[in-house]
Amino acid sequence: MEKRQYFGTDGVRGRVGLSPVTPAEVLHLGWAAGRVLGASHARGRFIIGKDTRISGYLLESALEAGLSAAGVDIALTGPLPTPGIALLTRQVGACGGIVISASHNPYHDNGIKFFSESGRKLDDHTEASIEALMSEPMSTVAPEALGKAERLIDALPRYAEHCRSTLPPGVRLDGLKIAVDCANGAAYQVGPLVLRELGAEVVCTGIEPDGFNINRERGSTYPLAICDLVRECGADIGIAFDGDADRVVLADAQGSLVDGDGILFVLSQYRSQSGECDGVVGTLMTNLGVELACREKGVEFVRVKVGDRFVLEELLDRNWTLGGEPSGHILSLDRSTTGDGLVAALAVLEVMQITGLPLAELAGGLQIFPQELVNVSVDHSTPSELLTNSRIIDSVGSCERQLGGRGRVVLRASGTEPVIRVMVEGEDADSVGKLARALADEIVAAAG
């Protein structure tokens, strides 16, 4: 995919006030998206949701004006998790959905994520079409054709009902004490609400957003908070979302972290027993332990590039339902069209309730292979070219032979800076560290 000016791996993102996240550019972006996604609708409508950043008000207004100029209507949900917008876009027959969020980033960043009418992230062709219109001057439809805006007042209860409905009939959370960290983000209302409605006793943190504290020492990127809260309140499980709640990590009753790999392990092992798991998609960073556990159950496991969009593409190509990333992006396509932190957490709670087993026991069977990550700065205009250097290829081969088939070596060139990312994974932490550092030294020597 060619490099673009606006779209990255997950929509448009950056520091507010700097390109591409300026009011003028977001206004133009809204118009371009309205033109492209609304083209096949006589009178289209967009769903717009957001997280709790102070800049959400600014960007929401800019998008609303751009979409109106393109002649499409707008339904505003207010703060709602990203997967909630995907759901509502599909449910109400909208021509597109927009989420104003920078996910796990700090408050001074923000971004624009898009969904198609099917509730899935846009394909490359559609993103390219929107980008092409960004270079054209804006035009405005006739006054009688301007889009109108309204509040979608039942957005939160509709999403909450969907989340509850992903549990099988008769499965509730009565008797469980659950600690929840909503990162002062988009799930601060709906997360605790759904869990309480299902019968759980809920203890919360990160539910007092002020526009600036999103993800600050809270949420899935700061898991220490949920681990501490579980131990302090004696919860059976802890759940931590990121700012837009498309990611989740868990903590067991002892306050030990269970990340996306652990969640993927629990769900794949449980579903494989009932024949509901044809295969699992992970990324290059998914721990080898998950892959080996799947193989032992006779479940095919494949890897893709880092990024939940690549996981989704592979799942759709193979007609599978389960995949995810260590960061907590978990896709369960039989329950949601995109990564959904709350739905993923409920899926694990379902396993706990049906089996009667605590999370520590369910996740305890996963052998975590030590990983060593090293970023190697290289004085090279195109770091990716180094990956074809014969010296580096020979070094990687030597490293893999020393791992004896019980480990992995992954080299990735950064797309944004002159850096080669080295990851070595194996059974022994000391050996893994030495091999990673030796490989890093070889890259430096080859680059020089």
Residue whose structure tokens are 């306050």:
255
How far is C-alpha 101 from the geometric centre of its chain's CA atoms? 12
Q: In what order do the strands lie in the sheet with 300-304?
A: 300-304, 279-283, 322-324, 330-332
Peptide bond into 358 cis (omega under 30): no
> Is 448 exposed, middle or buried, given 0-12, 13-18 or 19+ CB atoms closer than 10 A?
exposed
Instruction: Count Cβ atoms below 10 Å from residue 173 Cβ, excluding itself.
Output: 24
What lies within 8 Å, CB to CB, of 315 at 6+ separation is 281, 321, 322, 323, 331, 333
Rg (CA), the chain: 23
How far is C-alpha 77 from the geometric centre of its chain's CA atoms? 20
By C-alpha distance, which of 211, 189, 213 is closest to 57? 211
Instruction: Supply the residues annotated as catalytic.
Output: 103
